[in-house]
Structure 1
């Protein structure tokens, strides 16, 4: 029996055989690359003092980045809780992480083995800071403003040796060089906690952690954002930074000794070495001071300015805008590598820079990455379109859109780009061209970049010839960009509410149409060959339309639990769509995918099932479970280019891959900390790309056996001339 007969054989439900089976099938997919960062402060950025690895969170994943080679390794939190804080051990062998959510854990990871080796569950709500003691014996964790607990963990004994409560929100923690005390800072809070008592205690239960407040004097009402205990000759000092922009020094008696104004509207982070203090400030500013006397040393170069066209930059000097109203992203996290003398900075637009500060008069850029700053709503793979197309936008490129009002063009393969090229961004003293690094970002399209209100780009679609990019925003505005020039060629208020789906017709149909579907219950069909003039408006649905697809027929589904099949007819007035079938189910239909033969449509449903419909007859042919979970709803469904596998995303944040014909679960993957809003298989069948509300893009590598299976299926489709295609249901 061939695969088509299998689908047509009737309605059945195939469930994963057992949980053990599901866990073992997760290995066919591995996380290869993360394009995103979710660090919100200095507790979310760390540098290994031995290897120079930079660690930062991306949802439920810790990214271990080698900035010089642009290589990533990943630690995936199996609890599926968002990583909020992290810190390396002094020898760099271990990484400790804190997380958010109910009953969060402090986890210890072996960096080389990339696996969890220990776990502590003593917090109830969330963890804001974690730190290793310099002697490597202790880990301190501080709960968030709802938890308020401070725990000292002797991790080799797997025991909490001391604990206490804090009365203020804590945003930073740092150990003294001799490991005898640590300091926490927060809202009107600087407190010194001493470990002598817990070292001497023989009790099996945790002893009360002894703490004494710093003497803040006239700065007692400040918000202290970050802290770093002194090293070397300044080991008895403690340095803090306030949100109002003050760098403060406390002496060995916990007394505020001196402070300096950073000349900024806001400051949030600091990083310290024996000869330098780096302070992350507003508007892209990072200032350096001497820890000896708080003497000002230099100001580092700013990163890109906001709304910067990265593809237009040909020289380092292009980055320095001359516009008076130019704004830069705030530096929210900094960490210093004393071996290479590189400073890593995270900015609040979710960009990461690594600066070479060996010579503060000749600061160079080692590495930079620019990620989405808010929820990523959709993505599209660039089609394998014939003709004269930019080589960078050929197979392997994809496009994403976000609530940050940007559309970004990416490549999976590493290629050297101008913005992260060896043209280092440096201070006004000199221009250096030392390092070469690569970046995945090709270009950024800013939508209404001059407005302060972010409408958010909700959905995108690329025309089959690869020339046009259509996008719809949350206000119902439709835009079309020319992908050759990146210029906007159309902007029209197409709907009264959020545009939820866009779809171009297949070239096999002989039509060049664009369908737009919205929360306002309408579908507009536009003629892409006639300046996107209106062909027809369909108002069959009685609620939000979640998906529309062209497959000979035009198929749409929505929150009204209906699926409509519309057939194109040639009339005196032009092309007209008429309803051929209408099916209603007892559950909301959230998304739809069409197999490459255009014979079947797979629909993701609220009851976690995949329903497969025969497009020609409109009949449901099969139903099987689309998630191993017993909670949540299926939000997205995506069929691979061969039609062999179908990927689903569930509101429990998991992604599952099923055999399209048997319904067997072949893989379950996780790592996003918010719902997965979009997925796409690459045309070479090697990767699955997912985007999420956590602002991250994950590139998953599929196991060779899955790729081989898909490619064999593709070969069969191409060699069989009798295989049904989308052109079988053309104009009538």
Structure 2
């Protein structure tokens, strides 16, 4: 059965939780002072500062790597990464129309940095290490004027570019052992570099800021110091601090109106320092490296982004931070909505579990297990515990309000715990491991008891769903098998095999059918009693289906996978009723809340998306 989504109504996206904090200077404040601009996967997000309302610019085919905003705010430019040998696009967006103004193709593999000229005549783009070129674009004609290798042959990679504040024909580039002032020779369609002389200082420059009067270039280095260069002469004017250099390097700089510097370091310190002596005036320690500093207005307020996807708001006078946004900074592995509610849900990522309020998109609780990966989680029906599956072979049980570790099952699975589910009575856990084993555990007041270890799968268990009477469960495995188990007598009741790696399985609410899906891009309805395939749907045109969930009334189900599309299906008709287009990476998991009000989907770029479910319950 062919899949057709053209002309299918689009899902309404209500909110996105996510921010790619690894993009240097990726967080910007638009000159209208009302919007934050930042990347998430292949999207550029515009978020109103006052009420949090979001808009999305979609056009990139892969992750956004850099962002620049023109002085008036008429244009936003964003660059992306792509596959080896392919062209990486630069997109100029018309801010007023929220549309693509121009798509510029000249760089290979990655666009490293972008900068607009002060009067918005030109855009300069810098390619990544596989490209190594600087290109100057005419914004009006949407054409390249000229280009050049960014670094001299004796130097390393160029990492950043910055335009003059007053001259459309002058910009600066910097990187590993290279610092150049470029002048645009428009009649001859050339850019001519002048090497800056830093004397004995050999540095890798990560970030550049030019003082408002264009007198000095300030360069933040990986060595943790700042170089001050005279823009006119190209000579080193000063460097510092002499002692107490910035730990893990200077990631980002901002020159304030009065000339002092805001400095964000790789160790997470945010510092206000003197423009003359580089002496520290104020300092605050944030969680992990600072990657963005964005000024709002005349400097009364500024925003800071970190590599762990946190956003802070600061007042310039009191230098006090307010955490305004948190999100996962790596792939979200699983999502579960608290049973019987539409208010709370939990997600797991590399080393943490987070509990969220659905409507406020606000993080309520974070549970961190350093240097471990949480593969799967479930919340017990009684709401008293979060059960979680970890790559170190342990099952961890946490309190959902305190986040306190209540119980731990050591050595639950030899090759890591890969899937987990709890029974309705909240007394038993069914777990699956990388070794293909399925285990049933009984939770006791003072510990736990292994009831049975069942071994028929030959590869990692990818999904477990338990029947409502808690007497049976179904498991799916990467070996292409699914098995229905009796979890009272601990025997297999049905088994099926297909030429696929199963990623997910679930019961229809009436429990006479199960649905399986995986790398073969098919969704298959199967009879619980004899295991036969009843219906087969072609659910994706590219990539595997990684998540399936059936609504509680059984009328609809949702799918998400490597094609980045959220699809809502009519269960009886087997047709797509709505499509959600907003994810920039593979969808990893997907759930509908119990009253059919909202739908949550997660993806490999750390994003959590909240959609309005289009088929509300009659009740």
**TM-score with structure 1 length normalisation?**
0.78
Task: Specify the alignment match of 1:648 in structure 2.
Answer: 559
For residues 533-589 of structure 1, give each alpha carbon's deviation from its aligned partner in whole angstroms, at most 9, with x where no partner exists.
222211121222222211253212212222222235xxxxxx322222222223232
Which one has a larger percent strand, Structure 1 or Structure 2? Answer: 2
* Cα distance, 1:117 vs structure 2: 2.2
* Cα distance, 1:523 vs structure 2: 0.5
Counterpart CA distance in 2 for 1:589 and 1:114 is 40
Q: Confirm whether residue 549 of structure 1 aligns to residue 538 of structure 2.
A: no
Task: Specify the alignment match of 1:103 in structure 2.
Answer: 87
Task: Specify the alignment match of 2:284 in structure 1.
Answer: 301
Q: Confirm whether residue 374 of structure 1 aligns to residue 330 of structure 2.
A: yes
Q: Confirm whether residue 502 of structure 1 aligns to residue 502 of structure 2.
A: no
- 8 Å CA contact retained: 1:379, 1:680: yes
- 8 Å CA contact retained: 1:605, 1:611: no
Aligned 1:85-484 pairs, distance under 5 A:
85-101=66-82, 102-167=86-151, 168-178=156-166, 179-195=168-184, 197-198=185-186, 200-201=187-188, 207-219=189-201, 221-231=202-212, 234-251=213-230, 252-261=232-241, 263-265=245-247, 266-275=249-258, 276-291=260-275, 293-296=276-279, 298-303=281-286, 328-339=287-298, 341-357=300-316, 359=317, 362-384=318-340, 395-403=342-350, 405-414=351-360, 440-447=362-369, 449=370, 454-484=371-401
Q: Confirm whether residue 566 of structure 1 aligns to residue 481 of structure 2.
A: no
* Cα distance, 1:676 vs structure 2: 2.0
- 8 Å CA contact retained: 1:43, 1:171: no
Task: Please point out which of 600, 607, 612 is paired with 1:696.
Answer: 607
- 8 Å CA contact retained: 2:23, 2:65: no
Aligned 1:586-605 pairs, distance under 5 A:
586-605=499-518
* Cα distance, 1:295 vs structure 2: 4.9
Counterpart CA distance in 1 for 2:210 and 2:403 is 49
- 8 Å CA contact retained: 1:187, 1:223: yes
Task: Please point out which of 65, 70, 75 is paired with 1:84.
Answer: 65
* Cα distance, 1:592 vs structure 2: 0.7
- 8 Å CA contact retained: 1:378, 1:691: yes
* Cα distance, 1:473 vs structure 2: 0.6
Task: Specify the alignment match of 2:433 in structure 1.
Answer: 518
Rate the CA distance shift 1:80–1:412 in 2: closer, same or farther, 3 A: farther
- 8 Å CA contact retained: 2:13, 2:611: yes
Rate the CA distance shift 1:273–1:684 in 2: closer, same or farther, 3 A: farther
Rate the CA distance shift 1:701–1:95 in 2: closer, same or farther, 3 A: farther
SS of aligned partner of 1:157? coil
SS of aligned partner of 1:123? strand
Greater alpha carbon shift after TM alignment, 67-76 vs 121-130:
67-76
- 8 Å CA contact retained: 1:501, 1:518: yes
* Cα distance, 1:146 vs structure 2: 0.7
Counterpart CA distance in 1 for 2:23 and 2:100 is 24
Counterpart CA distance in 1 for 2:70 and 2:266 is 30
* Cα distance, 1:104 vs structure 2: 1.6
Greater alpha carbon shift after TM alignment, 680-689 vs 134-143:
680-689
* Cα distance, 1:670 vs structure 2: 4.2
- 8 Å CA contact retained: 1:677, 1:693: yes
- 8 Å CA contact retained: 2:42, 2:585: no
Greater alpha carbon shift after TM alignment, 667-676 vs 36-45:
667-676
**TM-score with structure 2 length normalisation?**
0.92
Counterpart CA distance in 1 for 2:392 and 2:480 is 24
* Cα distance, 1:441 vs structure 2: 0.8
Rate the CA distance shift 1:208–1:667 in 2: closer, same or farther, 3 A: farther
* Cα distance, 1:335 vs structure 2: 2.1
* Cα distance, 1:353 vs structure 2: 0.8
Structure 1 unaligned residues grouped into runs of 5+: 1-12, 202-206, 304-327, 385-393, 415-438, 569-574, 716-732
- 8 Å CA contact retained: 2:267, 2:290: yes
Task: Specify the alignment match of 2:498 in structure 1.
Answer: 585
Counterpart CA distance in 1 for 2:326 and 2:31 is 25
Counterpart CA distance in 1 for 2:111 and 2:381 is 47
Equivalent pairs counted in the alignment come to 601
Counterpart CA distance in 1 for 2:131 and 2:524 is 44
